[in-house]
Amino acid sequence: MKKIIIILLLLIPINIYAEEEIKLGENAKSAILIESTTGKIIFEKNAQEELPMASMTKMMTLLLIMENIDNGNLKWDEIITASEHAASMGGSQIFLEPGEKMTVEDLVKGICIGSGNDASVAMAERIGGTEEKFVSMMNKKAKELGLKNTNFVNACGLDTDNHYSSAYDMAMIAKELVKHKKILEFTGTYEDYLRKNTPNSFWLVNTNKLVRYYSGVDGLKTGYTKEAGYCITTTAQKDNMRLISVVMGEPSSKIRNSETISMLEYGFNTYEMDKLLSKDKVIAKIKIPLGIKKQSEVISKEDINILNTKIGTKRNVTYKIELNQVKAPIKKGDIVGSINVIENDNIIMTRDATIKEDVNKANIITVYLRNILDIIKGNISLNI
């Protein structure tokens, strides 16, 4: 059985804006603006429409790369050998030669900064064995994320039949990708070099010019093909709020950037993040059977924030803590339950709960003495 503790939080101001008052992404075929931690949609236009997404495809490639690094299947300093297939990619590239060796880190730079199709395929082959098998992994991940309007045919985004996504789905992939903070070090870099200190030194300049010209932008991925038009998924952070915007099918890079800036400006000027619960705040206590301590303090694994407008009326928000049955040993960071943020009887967010400090398993002598003490205190009854 789970123990449920309900705690009322606070009133949060929110302003309601009529959608017809928002005129954003006018030239885009589709567009969306979300807050990254909650996934709250701030603005959308034809966001579910299936469209070619060009090199924004590479966000899924990068997501799978980061997951493979996290699970130990891949290391940043691992040397990858480019195949003839990878080196044959057209479009944007870092000009890999068949048999050329390059580290994972440099290939990821080539993907993030230079949008290298060849670098993307080289990494796809390392992880999947073949690009085709990697594409299957991409589509499997899309299903895991609940994306209904996405299908991948290649790892880099070159135009081909049945290769499509939507602004909403791209935003959801970006939402997962920005959880890997390391990737933002690459996507937020305006220029760098590959093959340093060699005769073949290659200058990388970020295809996302907003990284340089709009404060707070540190990613994510541009895209352009004749069929897709000009596309971009952008993320920017100011104060404690991170926004993600997507525009697809823009007529030019200038308009693409201009309409992206307008969306970000609208988001930052209109909304803010309100901290509901700090990750350091003790919110409950949990019993730890056979632990060196009989109970431990419960905290959230992360700060819990909620998006609200800067001026407006107020709404009621509560949260529930659902604690699991646990036993020692248990460490800080281990999940001991969940925290559901609730508004109008609907769960609007769920976050993991953990304990404030490690609890080791008690030895048999400690358990024996504790039971004797409980008997003396009358906490344990003896059936004689």
Asked whether residue 376 carries a pLDDT value surpassing 90, the answer given is no
pLDDT band at 291 (very low <50, low <70, confident <90, very high): confident
The boundaries of the domain holding residue 107 are: 28-250
pLDDT of the residue at 18: 40
pLDDT band at 378 (very low <50, low <70, confident <90, very high): low
**Average pLDDT across the chain, whole number:** 90
**Pair 342, 232 in one domain:** no
**Pair 217, 149 in one domain:** yes
pLDDT of the residue at 58: 98
Residue where a domain terminates, one of 213, 233, 250: 250
Asked whether residue 318 carries a pLDDT value surpassing 90, the answer given is no
Residues tagged active-site: 55, 58, 115
For 85-117, the DSSP string reads: HHHT--SS---PPTT-EEEHHHHHHHHHTT--H
Given a contact cutoff of 8 angstroms between Cβ atoms, the answer to whether 239 and 216 are in contact is no
Provide mean pLDDT across the span 308-328.
Answer: 86
| Beta strand pairing call for 217-225 and 229-238 | antiparallel
Q: Which of 289, 292, 299 is nearest to 353 (CA)?
A: 299
Asked whether residue 306 carries a pLDDT value surpassing 60, the answer given is yes
**Pair 126, 46 in one domain:** yes
Residue 257 in domain = no
Count: domains in the chain: 2
For 124-156, the DSSP string reads: HHHHHSSHHHHHHHHHHHHHHTT-SS-B-SSSS
pLDDT of the residue at 20: 40
Given a contact cutoff of 8 angstroms between Cβ atoms, the answer to whether 260 and 153 are in contact is no
pLDDT of the residue at 367: 64
Query: Can you name the residues that pair with 271 across neighbouring β-strands?
Result: 309
Neighbours of 362 (CB within 10 A): 20
Given a contact cutoff of 8 angstroms between Cβ atoms, the answer to whether 74 and 126 are in contact is yes
Residue 62 in domain = yes
pTM of the predicted structure, to 2 decimals: 0.85
Asked whether residue 59 carries a pLDDT value surpassing 70, the answer given is yes
Domain CATH code at residue 7: 2.60.410.10
Asked whether residue 131 carries a pLDDT value surpassing 90, the answer given is yes
For 266-282, what is each residue's pLDDT tens digit?
999 999 998 889 998 99
Domain CATH code at residue 152: 3.40.710.10
Sign of the dihedral through C-alpha 137, 143, 146, 147 = positive
pLDDT of the residue at 53: 98
pLDDT of the residue at 253: 97
Provide, rounded to the nearest whole percent, the portion of the chain with pLDDT above 90.
Answer: 77
Q: Which of 15-29, 137-151, 198-212 has the lowest mean pLDDT?
A: 15-29
**Pair 76, 224 in one domain:** yes
pLDDT of the residue at 297: 95
**Pair 179, 76 in one domain:** yes
pLDDT band at 314 (very low <50, low <70, confident <90, very high): low
pLDDT band at 178 (very low <50, low <70, confident <90, very high): very high
**Pair 68, 214 in one domain:** yes
Residue 35 in domain = yes
Euclidean distance between CA atoms 244 and 263, whole angstroms: 10
**Pair 355, 233 in one domain:** no
**Pair 163, 52 in one domain:** yes
Provide mean pLDDT across the span 344-359.
Answer: 93
Residue at token pair 């789970």:
2
Using CA atoms, how far residue 350 sits from 14, 244, 312, 338, in Å, is 20, 20, 25, 7
**Pair 35, 7 in one domain:** no
**Pair 7, 33 in one domain:** no
pLDDT of the residue at 379: 57
Q: Which of 319, 315, 241, 327 is nearest to 281 (CA)?
A: 319
For 227-268, what is each residue's pLDDT tens digit?
999 999 999 999 889 999 999 999 999 999 999 999 999 999
DSSP 49: -
**Pair 117, 223 in one domain:** yes
